[in-house]
């Protein structure tokens, strides 16, 4: 029987990163993945394919709507070849997942394909597609089995017309009218893909705003911009039924006043969240407890109720984000190696890859109000930047919230071009506990979108913004 210092179950960003770090730290490491390709949700049916389609559809939209403004005239008809777009996406996914195999080999990590299930605290059985089994021994294990799309009890996902994000990433036609249930990150990103490709898109959201966990200024700005792009929103609508009649999909919902409203389309994309995935793991055989939400219960060291077994990523509490899973993978590897790592969960950024992009770190204004903290706000609009005018991407803003007494930056919230990348500056600044004035006194290259960060910091410290 093969014996390992660490066995990782699941090869998503949490699992494969944990395996690499364990191997770097000199531990004999194995990784088990159920599917033929490694990379988990993120690489196969999440972050990477969705960004590939967002980029492709963005190019199309630019060609149709914006090239002319730049003096670029297209003489022929600009058409979408959805099959080719999907093939390109598939090849991006393939290159990326193959990269994980390369990294496993490079780090001398043994890979097993099959479903991993605990026989006891130190033995894991791997069952492959043919039903063949093999048992390996693990001094320590890391559970990184991730999550799956969740649904509402009355929705039957038929994977044809009533679909989740997984099917939405491989549609064979552009819907005529895509009804999206849920105005969160995934619904908005995939909604925008199909909007750009020509679908009518209606987002039905239970809360009174999209992106309900982000700063409300961001929800407001993105709603305004997406409405300009002709996306439709039904906010404060509680979906009560979804039916595929054969000819169309009919969604019934109750509005704020309790009136029943009907939506008709040809596809319904249910984006109502994701649930932790532990099926087949037989966690109970190892004494690993789940909480009432089905997540693996962990302590501050991300250790489960079995002391030699840890868990990371979507399968435990916290934001369901690839980079959060990665941080936890490194954290657990270093903890097993006897180090004392640290994760500041307040500084895990959140990003929405619509265009304009949306990015956040730290506390929102709503959270500061609720905590009764006194704070200052500095906000700077993207439209006032030379860089924005040059590119034509004028929507959005950077908003900095800093402590009223110490000026320490408490939260940074952005909407605009390339803010998914800009947020890294805010994370760095906050990691080093910078004040708004610190940021305002750092030179930012001109002309860049990053100048909005400096200007917002200037605005937060005695209203000193220079270009507005």
Binder among 6, 8, 14, 311 for ligand FAD (CB under 6 A): 14
Applying the rule CB under 6 A, the residues between 195 and 234 that interact with ligand FAD are none
Question: In the annotation, is 446 catalytic?
Answer: yes
Write down the least CB distance from residue 463 to ligand FAD, Å: 35
47 binds ligand FAD (CB under 6 A): yes
The one catalytic residue in 58, 70, 444, 446 is 446
Strands (DSSP E) along 255-308, which ranges?
Answer: 260-265, 267-270, 274-276
Torsion of CA 453, 458, 459, 460, to 10 degrees: 90
Closest CB to ligand FAD among residues 47, 382: 47
Binder among 4, 11, 201, 457 for ligand FAD (CB under 6 A): 11
Write down the least CB distance from residue 112 to ligand FAD, Å: 8
116 appears as a binding residue in the annotation: yes
- The mark string for 445-464 relative to ligand FAD (x by CB under 6 A, - otherwise) is --------------------
CA distance 363 to 449: 22
- The mark string for 390-419 relative to ligand FAD (x by CB under 6 A, - otherwise) is ------------------------------
Closest CB to ligand FAD among residues 236, 285: 285
**What are the residues whose beta carbons fall under 8 Å from the beta carbon of 238, sequence distance 6 or more?**
206, 253, 254
Closest CB to ligand FAD among residues 47, 203: 47
Angle between helices 185-196 and 216-228 (to 10 degrees): 20
| Nearest Cα to Cα of residue 30 among 124, 154, 163 | 124
Applying the rule CB under 6 A, the residues between 318 and 347 that interact with ligand FAD are 320-323, 325
Write down the least CB distance from residue 20 to ligand FAD, Å: 13
Binder among 7, 8, 19, 32 for ligand FAD (CB under 6 A): 32
375-381, strands of its sheet edge to edge: 350-352, 357-362, 409-416, 397-403, 375-381
| Nearest Cα to Cα of residue 400 among 450, 357, 447, 352 | 450
| Residue 60 Rama label (left phi>0; alpha psi -120 to 50; beta) | alpha
Write down the least CB distance from residue 350 to ligand FAD, Å: 8
Closest CB to ligand FAD among residues 254, 282: 282
CA distance 30 to 262: 51
Applying the rule CB under 6 A, the residues between 352 and 371 that interact with ligand FAD are 353
- Cβ neighbours, 10 Å, residue 413: 30
281 binds ligand FAD (CB under 6 A): yes
349 binds ligand FAD (CB under 6 A): no
Applying the rule CB under 6 A, the residues between 72 and 131 that interact with ligand FAD are 115-116
Write down the least CB distance from residue 137 to ligand FAD, Å: 16
Closest CB to ligand FAD among residues 66, 121: 121
Write down the least CB distance from residue 390 to ligand FAD, Å: 27
Write down the least CB distance from residue 124 to ligand FAD, Å: 9
Tokens standing for residue 57 = 């559809």
In whole angstroms, how far apart are CA 263 and each of 47, 120, 184, 204, 240? 29, 50, 19, 9, 11
CA distance 162 to 208: 24
Closest CB to ligand FAD among residues 359, 368: 359
| Residue 407 Rama label (left phi>0; alpha psi -120 to 50; beta) | left
186 appears as a binding residue in the annotation: yes
Which residue is it, tokens 């220079």? 466
- Count of positions on this chain that bind ligand FAD (CB under 6 A): 37
Q: What share of the chain is helix, strand, coil (3-state, %, to 5)?
A: 35, 25, 40
| Nearest Cα to Cα of residue 266 among 346, 161, 389, 165 | 161
Contact between 120 and 285 under an 8 Å Cβ cutoff? The reply is yes
Closest CB to ligand FAD among residues 6, 32: 32
Q: Which residues are annotated as a binding site for FAD?
A: 51, 116, 145-147, 314, 320-323
Q: Which residues are annotated as a binding site for NAD(+)?
A: 182-189, 205, 273
Q: Which residues are annotated as a binding site?
A: 51, 116, 145-147, 182-189, 205, 273, 314, 320-323
Tell me which residues touch ligand FAD (CB under 6 A).
9-15, 32-35, 40-42, 46-47, 50, 115-116, 144-147, 165, 186, 277, 280-281, 313-315, 320-323, 325, 353
Active site residues: 446
């Amino acid at each position: 029987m093969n014996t390992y210092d660490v066995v990782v179950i699941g090869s998503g960003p949490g699992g494969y990163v944990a395996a690499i770090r364990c191997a770097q730290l000199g531990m004999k490491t194995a990784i088990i993945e159920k599917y033929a390709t490694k990379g988990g949700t993120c690489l196969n049916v999440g972050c990477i394919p969705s960004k590939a389609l967002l980029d492709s559809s963005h190019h199309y939209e630019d060609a149709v709507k914006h090239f002319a403004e730049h003096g670029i005239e297209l003489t022929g008809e600009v058409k979408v070849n959805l099959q080719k777009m999907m093939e390109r996406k598939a090849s991006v996914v393939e290159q990326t997942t193959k990269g994980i195999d390369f990294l496993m080999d490079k780090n001398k990590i043994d890979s097993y394909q099959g479903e991993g299930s605990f026989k006891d605290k130190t033995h894991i059985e791997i069952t492959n597609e043919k039903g063949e089994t093999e048992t390996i021994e693990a001094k320590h294990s890391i559970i990184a089995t991730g999550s799956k799309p969740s649904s509402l009890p009355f929705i039957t996902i038929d994977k044809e017309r009533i679909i989740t994000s997984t099917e939405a990433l491989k549609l064979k036609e552009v819907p005529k009218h895509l009804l999206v249930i849920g105005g969160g990150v995934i619904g908005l990103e995939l909604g925008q893909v199909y909007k750009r490709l020509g679908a009518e898109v209606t987002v039905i959201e239970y809360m009174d705003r999209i992106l309900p966990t982000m700063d409300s200024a961001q929800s407001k700005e993105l709603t305004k911009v997406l409405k300009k792009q002709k996306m439709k929103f039904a906010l404060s609508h509680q979906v009560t039924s979804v039916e595929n009649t054969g000819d169309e999909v009919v969604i019934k919902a109750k509005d704020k006043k309790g009136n029943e409203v009907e939506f008709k389309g040809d596809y319904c994309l249910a984006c109502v969240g994701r649930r932790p995935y532990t099926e087949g793991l037989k966690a109970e055989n190892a004494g690993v407890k789940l909480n009432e939400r089905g997540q693996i219960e962990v302590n501050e060291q991300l250790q489960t109720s079995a002391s030699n077994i840890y868990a990371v990523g979507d399968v435990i509490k916290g934001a369901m984000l690839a980079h959060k899973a990665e941080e936890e993978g490194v954290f657990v590897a270093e903890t097993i190696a006897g180090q004392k790592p640290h994760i500041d969960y307040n500084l895990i950024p959140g990003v929405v890859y619509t265009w304009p992009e949306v990015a956040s770190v730290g506390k929102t204004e709503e959270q500061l109000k609720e905590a009764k903290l006194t704070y200052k706000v500095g906000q700077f609009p993207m439209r006032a930047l030379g860089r924005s005018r040059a590119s034509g991407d004028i929507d959005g803003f950077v908003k900095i919230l800093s402590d009223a007494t110490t000026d320490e930056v408490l939260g940074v919230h952005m909407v605009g071009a390339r803010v998914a990348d800009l947020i890294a500056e805010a994370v760095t600044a906050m990691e080093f506990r910078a004040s708004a004035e610190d940021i305002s006194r750092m030179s930012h290259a001109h002309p860049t979108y990053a100048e909005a960060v400096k200007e917002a910091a200037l605005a937060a410290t005695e209203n000193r913004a220079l270009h507005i």
